[in-house]
């Protein structure tokens, strides 16, 4: 299904920095996405988080959005991926709870050496995944705040810094900013990430 002309116009307006167009997109699809997610996850707060993550994901992927794509299908695809990620987290939590309730305290020492190596590798992978999820969540919070204020330039700047890994000079030229302004936004974002990373709850199980 091709994109509707009204959605196509909104997409082009968002790309030009129109915050009203962004609010229109959110108002148009937020209810549908919420119903889709709520049919699969009962917790309302989690559903609201997933819908917000869907819109953040859409904004980050906007440079790659093809104008012949159906916007609603595109948003629901992002929401589906967010749901899958959530189910994986829920499954991991259940597994960890089961493991913590196991009374076999010497089970680790009873494992053969090769199995212990595999187990260590799995724990390292889980650690990396947890850190990656934390980073995405923290960046998503910042992006969500700036989107709420209609600060599209800052969102775009953050995307180019952390997603595209562009140099400050290249970002400044593309967005019509000074290198000092880009560096300032980067410093603010990194300082916020650092402060959160230093908190005890930054990485579960650390």
> CA-to-CA distance for 60 and 136, rounded, in angstroms?
11
Q: How far apart are CA 59 and CA 63, in angstroms?
A: 8
Give the whole-angstrom CA distance, residue 30 versus residue 52: 9
pTM of the model: 0.52
Return the higher-pLDDT residue of 42 and 194. 42
Picking from 87-96, 130-139, 160-169, 189-198, which range would have the lowest pLDDT averaged per residue? 87-96
Is residue 3 within 8 A of residue 69, CB to CB? The reply is yes
Instruction: Look at residues 14, 34, 46, 21 and name the one whose alpha carbon lies nearest to residue 76.
Output: 34
pLDDT of residue 202: 42
pLDDT of 96-122, one tens digit each?
Answer: 444 444 444 444 444 445 444 444 544
Burial 33-59 (b: 16+ CB within 10 A, else e): bbebbbeebeeeeebebbbbbbbbbbb
> Lowest mean pLDDT: which of 139-148, 175-184, 197-206?
197-206
Which residue segments constitute the domains of the chain, with CATH numbers given? 1-95 (1.10.1740.10), 124-201 (1.10.10)
13-23: average pLDDT? 85
State the pLDDT at residue 21.
Answer: 87
**Residue 29 binned pLDDT confidence (cut-offs 50, 70, 90):** very high
Phi-psi region of 150 (alpha: psi -120 to 50; beta: other; left: phi over 0): left
Alpha helices in 39-112 (DSSP H): 44-61, 71-100, 107-110
pLDDT digits (tens, 9 = 90+) for 51-89: 988 988 888 888 888 888 889 999 998 888 888 888 887
């Amino acid at each position: 299904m091709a994109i509707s002309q009204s959605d196509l116009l909104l997409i082009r307006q968002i790309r030009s920095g129109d915050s009203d167009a962004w609010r229109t997109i959110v108002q148009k699809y937020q209810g549908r996405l919420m119903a889709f997610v709520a049919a699969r996850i009962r917790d309302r707060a989690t559903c609201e988080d997933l819908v917000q993550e869907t819109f953040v994901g859409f904004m980050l992927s906007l440079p790659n959005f093809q104008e012949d794509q159906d916007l609603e299908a595109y948003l629901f695809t992002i929401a589906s991926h967010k749901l899958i990620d959530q189910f994986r987290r829920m499954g991991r939590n259940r597994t960890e709870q089961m493991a913590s309730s196991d009374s076999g305290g010497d089970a680790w020492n009873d494992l053969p050496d090769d199995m212990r190596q595999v187990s260590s590798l799995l724990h390292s992978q889980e650690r990396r995944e947890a850190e990656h999820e934390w980073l995405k969540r923290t960046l998503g919070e910042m992006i969500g705040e700036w989107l709420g204020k209609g600060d599209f330039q800052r969102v775009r700047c953050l995307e180019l810094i952390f997603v595209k890994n562009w140099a400050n000079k290249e970002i400044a030229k593309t967005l019509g900013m000074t290198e000092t302004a880009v560096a300032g936004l980067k410093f603010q974002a990194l300082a916020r990430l650092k402060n959160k990373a230093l908190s005890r709850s930054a990485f579960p199980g650390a």
